[in-house]
Amino acid sequence: MEDFVTLNYNGTEIKLPVVTGSEGEKAIDISRLRADTGFITMDPGYVNTGSCMSSITFMDGENGILRYRGIPVEQLAEKSTYKETAYLLINGRLPTRDELTEFSINLNDNSLVHTDLKAFFQNFPRQSHPMGILSSMVNALRSFYPTYGPLEEEINMTMTRLLAKVRTMAAMSYKISRGHELVLPRPDMTYCENFLNMMFDTPVKPYEIKKEVVNALRVFWILHADHEQNCSTSSVRMVGSARVNLYAAISAGIAALWGPLHGGANQAVIEMLTDIQNDGGSYQSAIERARDKNDSFRLMGFGHRVYKTYDPRAKIMKKMCDELLDSLNIDDPLLDIARGLEETALQDPYFIDHNLYPNVDFYSGIVLRAIGIPTNMFTVMFALGRLPGWIAQWKESVDDPRWKISRPRQVYTGEQEYDYIPLHARNA
């Protein structure tokens, strides 16, 4: 039986259909509201707006639940590989052994990048932020790999190229920034090992693969692989809705992720913890500033639009951070500051009242530091992890029979119509 919500305005009743998701989430379909009544709805920041129906990721912010294609992220972080999770997100189910082998071969076969790309990298100004470079370079990939056969094959090849080449490009940009020789991808290594080797292997000091480090990167990437309709994913869908190519849509996602309120928070957390350390290690003033309405300062790595409890990814990241530092025998003073800051914030009435808990970015920077990733590349690491999610969400939107170009409305608040005044007649 079809379910409706009835809207009453000035004696007129309008019936709006109710849409129910597979986990019982409910939405009111207002797509015909303007045509039937002349009204639009207002929801700045899309706080309460569903922009699509999606079968990729389920989040329950009140109960701290996150599942990819139905599988709890905790299980994937414990048992899956990043490559398998990427396959799951993009194809909707876990691969068979043969499918996973074929996927690996395709990724390896496409992991080299055109050598002309090197010249692009070298011509960015020295101080360029790696996220700006990555966004531009992913867009530029379209010029290097313009088309490939029929649409279905073209889409599959573009997705493979993105997963395989962006990882190589990220490592390449790091090597170029250091003035070092590039290290090529190796087919005998796993996806995570390969990235670490391309980043850190040098002719004078071969990179020693440590299983704890590889495992930390695997978990980090799985935890970042998708997060339903967040700012960057919505950007990918919105830009993609104009039917641009996938490289351009992903490039838009990377640009959105760069922001400190989104993926850029992992870099901002480390900068904040370093400031606290330089100020003598007292986190009380950071808490006071975060509480102060007249100060724009926010506690980075805290709070989330959807999670009103502990971010399930942050729980896993925190545990992994402790284990990694222990096993590598690293004593990072920023970890002590982070722990103390968290403990104090979680007992503070402001943070309790506002439901502010650590999010995925709070401990991830300390993990990345331990792996050896430079701070300005933290958000690139997030972007590499998020690629499968962006690709899956883009693919779903392209295949959606209800697809429409994204085009929100507004309520205009400017001047009403008045006549143009010639320059000579205007007052000084």
Minimum CB distance to ligand CMC, residue 186 (Å): 32
Strand partners, 7: 14
Smaller CB separation from ligand CMC, 135 or 160: 135
H helix intervals, 18-72 = 33-37
Minimum CB distance to ligand CMC, residue 232 (Å): 8
Smaller CB separation from ligand CMC, 172 or 387: 387
- Exposed, middle or buried: residue 169 (CB in 10 Å: 0-12, 13-18, 19+)? buried
Beta strand residue intervals within 241-313, DSSP E: none
Minimum CB distance to ligand CMC, residue 286 (Å): 9
Residue 321 · residue 366 · CB < 8 Å? yes
């002349």: which residue's tokens? Answer: 38
Residue 286 · residue 292 · CB < 8 Å? no
Tell me, yes or no, if 43 is annotated catalytic. no
Per the structure block, which two tokens stand in for 236?
Answer: 């990918």
Smaller CB separation from ligand CMC, 17 or 50: 50
Minimum CB distance to ligand CMC, residue 261 (Å): 4
CA separation for the pair 423, 428 (Å, rounded): 10
Per the structure block, which two tokens stand in for 150?
Answer: 């029929």
Smaller CB separation from ligand CMC, 259 or 374: 259
86 Cα distance to chain centroid: 14
Catalytic residue among 201, 311, 348, 361: 361
Catalytic residue among 224, 227, 304, 311: 304
Minimum CB distance to ligand CMC, residue 19 (Å): 23
Smaller CB separation from ligand CMC, 247 or 357: 357
The DSSP annotation for 30-69 comes to -TTHHHHHS-----GGGTT------SSEEEETTTTEEEET
Q: In the bound complex, which residue of the shown chain has the CB atom lying closest to ligand CMC?
A: 303
Tell me, yes or no, if 304 is annotated catalytic. yes
CA separation for the pair 357, 158 (Å, rounded): 38
Q: Which residues contact ligand CMC by CB under 6 A?
A: 227, 230, 261-263, 265, 290, 298-305, 354, 356, 359-361
Catalytic residues: 304, 361
